[in-house]
Amino acid sequence: MSGFIDHYSFLGLPSSEKGFKVSKEELTKAYRSKALELHPDKSLDDPNAVEDFQQLQESYKILKNKQTREAFHKELMFVLRTFPTTGILYSYE
């Protein structure tokens, strides 16, 4: 997978400023819900299940850490300002 991943959207959270304001509890709840949905054992027919689940884990890892979340948020804001309608953003909504 190439391009920029919107980690908020990947977890089913609002993107942009709203996503940045999501609490740790809301983040964990969204992760757990999405993990149940994307777990490879529940998606035996999906050839991308392992890759999607690994991306979910990486997105959660980035967002649960304050420093990496802030860095991601700055990058997201740059991408949204620079490429507002080009479609390079993978949102997974």
Judged by average pLDDT, the poorest of 8-12, 48-52, 70-74, 89-93 is 89-93
Can you tell me the mean pLDDT for 36-55? Answer: 91
Dihedral sign, Cα of residue 62, residue 6, residue 13, residue 56:
negative
- What's the rounded Cα separation, in Å, for the pair 8 and 92? 9
Taking only the tens place, the pLDDT of each residue in 56-90 is 999 999 999 999 999 999 999 888 888 766 555 55
Q: What is the mean pLDDT of the chain?
A: 87
Taking the whole predicted model, whether its pTM rises above 0.85 is answered as: no
Higher per-residue confidence, 46 vs 62? 62
22: phi > 0 → left, psi -120 to 50 → alpha, else beta; which?
beta
The top-level CATH class assigned to 4-90 is mainly alpha
Query: Tokens standing for 23?
Result: 């609490």
